[in-house]
Amino acid sequence: MNILLISAGSMGIMGALFALGLAKASNKFAVEEDPRVGQISEVLPGANCGACGYPGCDAFASAVARDQAPVNGCPVGGSNVAQKVAALMGVEAINEEDKKVARVSCQGTKCNAKEKFKYEGIQDCRAAARLNGGSKSCEFGCLGLGTCEKVCAFDAITIEDGIAKIDPNKCTACGKCIDACPKTVIQWIPFAQQVIVDCNSSRKGKEVKEKCIVGCIGCKICVKACPFDAMKFKDNLAYINYERCTNCMICAEKCPTKAICTNFSQKENVYILDS
């Protein structure tokens, strides 16, 4: 009995000594967390989308506190969150560039664009693209199977009449849809931009017309009509220099195929495709 008591007492004393040693070691080697990390985390949206380049909001907050990330590095929170983070860091908010949003540069709906064949496979754009580039006759067009819609965590993308549509008011510029699109048909544009070339094809005019009736045919009418030298032309496709564009709408009015849209809310131009 005495042996058991002695053994139990010894084990208790040893346990107490080990606990004391661990406590001292913990205090000695403890890494103090900057209190600003928690404060920054509280003002972040908590989406954990990774758009900032870090695995989550807490990681981003930690990087900001260590001056390893900019205070305006959260695209989801925008300028409002940037100002709050800057205040916590004791600095002035960095002037942001114009807000960017994703835009599907294609109007190739079922009515506007022809198809090469009827696709009945996996409802995924990446899978369909492996099958002869997908069913759409224009190899640069949106396949409309919703891969971008599935990866969007903000309910900003819908599939309408065979192509993806992005709501600019819901888009947080996380970039996941751009990474997911096998056709690279989703582009960044300024949020305030009211004139957009909604075509992604680099084919010549005759071939474009055979495949899609709202595609850019490379006529350069928009380039010649723009009084601000904002319309440019490269690889058989018109594009806009957004820094020069004043949203005067002249290019959209002159475009013979209506490949240039005039605003986000505009209803897409729908025509009857010749059989």
Question: Does residue 17 belong to any structural domain of this protein?
Answer: no
- Which of 47, 65, 89 terminates a domain? The answer is 89
- The low-confidence residues of the chain, meaning pLDDT below 70, are 1-2, 4-10, 12, 15-19, 21-32, 94-98, 263-275
Q: Do 243 and 253 reside in the same domain of the chain?
A: yes
Please check whether residue 212 lies inside any domain of the structure.
yes
Structural domain range at position 219: 193-266
Strand-pair partners of 165: 158
Question: What angle in degrees, to the nearest 10, is found between the helix axes of 78-89 and 57-65?
Answer: 40
Both 181 and 104 in one domain: the answer is: yes
**3 lies in a domain?**
no
Q: Which two tokens stand for residue 257?
A: 């195929």
Domain contains 4: no
Asked if residue 66 belongs to a domain, the reply is yes
Residues 84 and 119 in one domain: no
Q: pLDDT (tens digit, 9 = 90+) per residue, 124-183? A: 999 999 999 999 999 999 999 999 999 998 899 999 999 999 999 888 888 899 999 999
Strands 260-261 and 163-166: unpaired
- Say what the pLDDT of residue 13 is: 72
Please tell me whether residues 208 and 250 are part of one structural domain: yes
Give yes or no: residues 103 and 182 share one domain. Answer: yes
**pLDDT at 274 (0 to 100):** 41
Do residues 214 and 199 touch, judged by C-beta distance below 8 A?
A: yes
pTM: 0.72
β-bridge mates for residue 187, sequence order: 103
Does residue 49 belong to any structural domain of this protein?
yes
152 and 108 in a common domain? yes
131 and 166 in a single domain? The answer is yes
* CATH of residue 179: 3.30.70.20
Other residues' Cβ atoms within 10 Å of the Cβ of residue 113: 23
Number of compact structural domains in the chain: 3
Same domain, 187 and 208: no
Any domain includes 22 = no
Spatial distance between the Cα atoms of 84 and 44, rounded to a whole number of angstroms: 9
Alpha-helical runs (H) found in the chain: 2-29, 35-43, 57-65, 78-89, 125-129, 147-151, 176-180, 205-211, 221-225, 250-254
* CA pair distance 173, 52, nearest whole angstrom: 10
| First-last CA distance in the chain | 101
* 181 and 197 in a common domain: no
Query: What pLDDT does residue 236 have?
Result: 95
